[in-house]
A and B are shown apart, each in its own frame.
Chain A
Amino acid sequence: MHLQEKIKIHLDQIKQIKGVENAVLTQRDGNPIQSSGVWFSKDEIFNVCSAASAIFNVGIHLHPKDLKYILIEGKKAKILIAPLNSPLHSSLNKILEKQMILNSNHEFFVAITAQPNVNLGGIFLQTNECLKKIKTSLITSGESFKPPLIQFDNQKIQNIINGFDIKENEEFNLKISSFSLSFSENISIELRKVLRDFSLTIPDLKYAFISIEGGFVASKILKNSRVNTDELDNISAMSYSVFQTANRCSWLLKKMHTENILIDCDNSFQFINGLGKSIFSSEIGKARQKLGLLRLLLPQFSKKINTLIKKASEIQDYRTFDVKKLLGDLVIK
């Protein structure tokens, strides 16, 4: 049996789980390999797979050793992105490592879309075996499925998506813009107070930050000496971009906005909560924390932060900003 047929059988098994709508296996660079379920257009396949690939690559960049899955949640659906090289398959990984056919690179991932009320625990348990089988088939086949660079011609697109079911649909557009916002001292102090309260409520907090449109850190709290301000800038840029891309992915798939993202790792949870065009993100150690409780607490803080950001947007300081006086002549060293 051809490799892609084998994979299709396993993906179809995942799709049969109650609440699952679509499952697509993708190479790390975003090349769609096989899927179950129906797609709306050819563009949708590539847009979703490249967006999912960007999200996945940021996930493994931020959490290279212990990423378990990325969960994107909106009102109409949940999108689950899981590496095939999951730490959950530890015994299989050991066997493959002994045979020297598994390396630590995350070469493939599965993106699953499901209804919003689906039991994710159930999906994990039931897909685990399917993912193991797909992984074994892929790794032993030696196929790399890397995408062509720069651009696709129509023939290449047809070849790649040959086995996908497609239903044509309308175009979409997400417009972008530049942005300017000033945070008064009072708003900044209030934001910091909310983050301080958050750190007191959540004992194993590593860091929390608020990023405004564009990825600018508006406020932060660092509780872990291994993360410094520079690293937090990087985490903020990546988290913000991931949220924006997830939003696009959600729109493409379900015409919904992303509300929050959970990046589940072996030792910690990273949450990215959407606040309109801003985000509130935090990483929390798992030692003493229950996911359910955290998911109850986070919206309360998100709401407070959102109110303050809205206030900042309303009370803009229209004084003439004398940049020359404040910054002087600058020398970048």
Chain B
Amino acid sequence: MIFDYEDKIIQIKIVYYGPAMSGKTTTLKYLFSYLGKENKLESIESTVGRTLFFDFGVLQIKGAEWSLKFLLYTATGQDFYAGTRPATLNGVDGIIFVADAQTKYLDQNLRSWGELKALFGIEVYNLPIIIALNKYDLENGKKLKKEEFIQYIDFEKFKYISINKTIAIKGEGILNSFQQILGFIFPQLTITLNPQI
């Protein structure tokens, strides 16, 4: 986070993190599309359309005296590019951990969660984190319940953490997660999301 007194801007960085194919890019695309800024999203992707490095976009809001600028990233979920994830995470203010809610992907979710913890060490417990159990609309197979996922992580050790069900492809729970992470970063603020008319 930086506070720029000359331009009167606060900049914060939020990263969508999680295992491959869990819906990080879809989530960010939905957010930008909802706000009518889909053309503001840049992606460094592989030749087969997967996120190779990151997706990136900026949202800015004019406040009373200062402006708030969000730098929004997704980290690559592909294990092949795992080495690039620290570069994307550096300097992050809040993380939205996009997990695949299908029970069969529990191991992948936990592996990604474990990697996140390993990258930050004990500092991870001070980071604002929202866990988004995504793809809750899929009818095939069992889904992870919130309480079930919490059992696998040391949930109570985190200072700012919450868990939501999301359906990125339909936009369900996406705005709520975004508002929640902002609420963790700036508890004093009231932030409302309105689409462009």
Which of A's residues lie within 8 Å of B, judged by CB?
28-30, 46-47, 50-51, 53-54, 57-58, 61, 105, 107, 146-152, 174-185, 188-189, 192, 212-218, 230, 233-234, 237-238, 240-241, 244-245, 248, 277, 317, 321-333
Which of B's residues lie within 8 Å of A, judged by CB?
1-8, 10-11, 13, 20-21, 35, 40, 42, 44, 46-48, 50, 52-54, 56, 58-59, 61, 63-66, 68, 71, 73, 77-84, 86-93, 119-121, 123, 126-127, 186, 188-196
Indicate which residue in A149, A234, A277 contacts B20 across the interface (CB closer than 8 Å).
A149
- Contact of B196 with A216 in the complex, beta carbons under 8 Å: no
What CA separation (Å) do A304 and B81 show in the bound complex? 35
Residue of A nearest to B57 (CB): A234
- Contact of B191 with A332 in the complex, beta carbons under 8 Å: yes
What CA separation (Å) do A149 and B71 show in the bound complex? 27
- Contact of B189 with A323 in the complex, beta carbons under 8 Å: yes
- Contact of B90 with A50 in the complex, beta carbons under 8 Å: no
- Contact of B194 with A54 in the complex, beta carbons under 8 Å: no
- With A54-B53, A237-B71 known as contacts, the answer to whether A230 contacts B58 (CB < 8 A) is yes
- With A54-B53, A149-B78 known as contacts, the answer to whether A241 contacts B88 (CB < 8 A) is yes
- With A182-B3, A188-B6, A331-B61 known as contacts, the answer to whether A54 contacts B52 (CB < 8 A) is yes
A–B complex contacts, Cβ < 8 Å, 8 sampled:
A149-B78, A150-B79, A181-B2, A214-B92, A217-B11, A325-B64, A331-B191, A333-B196
What CA separation (Å) do A192 and B7 show in the bound complex? 11
A-B contact count (CB 8 A): 218
- Contact of B86 with A174 in the complex, beta carbons under 8 Å: yes
Question: Using Cβ atoms and an 8 Å threshold, which residues of chain A touch B83?
Answer: 46-47, 50-51, 245, 248
- Contact of A185 with B6 in the complex, beta carbons under 8 Å: yes
What CA separation (Å) do A189 and B88 show in the bound complex? 29
- Contact of B87 with A248 in the complex, beta carbons under 8 Å: yes
Question: Using Cβ atoms and an 8 Å threshold, which residues of chain A touch B2?
Answer: 180-183, 212, 214, 216, 218
- Contact of B189 with A216 in the complex, beta carbons under 8 Å: no
What CA separation (Å) do A267 and B2 show in the bound complex? 34
- Contact of B189 with A324 in the complex, beta carbons under 8 Å: yes
Q: Is the interface of B mostly helix, strand, loop or mixed?
A: mixed
User: In the complex, how many angstroms separate the beta carbon of A161 from the nearest chain B beta carbon?
Assistant: 13
User: In the complex, how many angstroms separate the beta carbon of A47 from the nearest chain B beta carbon?
Assistant: 4
- Contact of B80 with A176 in the complex, beta carbons under 8 Å: no
- Contact of B7 with A147 in the complex, beta carbons under 8 Å: no
- Contact of B90 with A214 in the complex, beta carbons under 8 Å: yes
Residue of B nearest to A178 (CB): B92
What CA separation (Å) do A183 and B88 show in the bound complex? 23
Residue of A nearest to B64 (CB): A328
- Contact of B4 with A183 in the complex, beta carbons under 8 Å: yes
Question: Using Cβ atoms and an 8 Å threshold, which residues of chain A touch B50?
Answer: 149
Question: Using Cβ atoms and an 8 Å threshold, which residues of chain A touch B80?
Answer: 29-30, 46, 50, 147-152
Question: Using Cβ atoms and an 8 Å threshold, which residues of chain A touch B88?
Answer: 241
Indicate which residue in B11, B46, B64, B121 contacts A29 across the interface (CB closer than 8 Å).
B46
Indicate which residue in A149, A213, A331 contacts B91 across the interface (CB closer than 8 Å).
A213
Residue of A nearest to B196 (CB): A333
Indicate which residue in A151, A181, A327 contacts B63 across the interface (CB closer than 8 Å).
A327
